[in-house]
A and B are shown apart, each in its own frame.
Chain A
Amino acid sequence: MPSTPDNAGYMIAAYVITVVVYVGYTISLWRRARLMLRSEDD
């Protein structure tokens, strides 16, 4: 009976990339919004 392969490394890589992209995009939106709304308040 073949044992369960030990490939948790891939799983971690994928989960990390996913959260990095989502958080990164959120930050990008946040910064653009702040820049935009701040310049409006001038």
Chain B
Amino acid sequence: MNSELASARRIIRLGFALTAIALIAVAGVYVRALMYTPIEVRQGAAQKIFYVHAPAAWAALMAFSLVGIVSALYLWLKDPRLDLFAASSAEVGLAFSVVMLTTGPIWGKPVWGTWWTWDARLTLTLMIFLLFLGYLTLRAALSDPSERARFSAVVGILGLVLVPFIHLSVYLFRTLHPAPILLKPSKPSLPDTMLATLLYALATFTLLYIGFVTTRYGLARAVAAQSGREGTDA
């Protein structure tokens, strides 16, 4: 058991190191976005929210996909470490989706004139948030470790399969009932500096996800090692 704890500690240390680097890089993104990227003429300074919102959404979606995929792997291979990783990804994903769900409306209000529209993207962000919440709440409510792992794996898999359906149904709805959008934020035709800032932000937030999930996973492994059996509280 001691070697298990030792590897867990190493993972935690690695995780914190990666997180620290990522946070510094995030600071770099802030500097670049706020000071060295031009303001979009029609949307104003609020357009820059895009540089923190889009990468957070990307990270949340990535976290969510990994929960689903690793859950499926767990049910197949039965390795408890896979379950610990899925749970870690869910918690980290929740953090990113909080950012996504708050910055989204804050961006929407000045640019689209409304805090919320039930379009495909925003609806999906809300659903993913609820799915993360449901997944983590279920885990917290189950005390038997085997049940916890198996049940949340099922939720993870079902949730991942659900995402395309939500996207499809809202998209189908929207093509028939287009929402009044005053200014459509430009995505494909971004000038070079803006595109570079966006890509830099995406890379940084990805690194932050990796740092967070590594740390959280190490923590879960440590708790599991400490209790001497498979994940009592992970």
A and B touching (C-beta < 8 Å)? Answer: yes
Q: Are B106 and A17 in contact (CB under 8 A)?
A: yes
Q: Is the interface of B mostly helix, strand, loop or mixed?
A: helix
Query: Which residues in chain A, 4-42, are within 8 Å of chain B measured between CB atoms?
Result: 4-8, 10-11, 13-15, 17-19, 21-23, 25-26, 29-30, 32-33, 36-37, 39-40
Q: Give the total of A residues in contact with B, Cβ under 8 Å.
A: 27
Chain B residue numbers with a CB within 8 Å of A13 are: 106
User: Cβ of A19 and Cβ of B226 under 8 Å apart?
Assistant: no
Task: Decide: A11 and B95 in contact? CB cutoff 8 A.
Answer: no
Near A by CB (< 8 A), chain B positions 1-57 give 5, 9, 12, 15-16, 19, 23, 26, 30, 34, 39, 41-46, 48-49, 52-53, 56
| Interface pair B26/A5, CB less than 8 Å apart | no
Distance to closest chain B CB from A29 (angstroms): 5
Instruction: Specify which chain B residues have a CB less than 8 angstroms from the CB of A33 in the assembled complex.
Output: 12, 16, 215, 218-219, 222
> Which of A6, A7, A23, A40 counts the most chain B CB atoms within 10 A?
A7
* Given known A-B contacts A4-B44, A21-B95, A40-B5, A10 and B109 have beta carbons under 8 A apart: yes
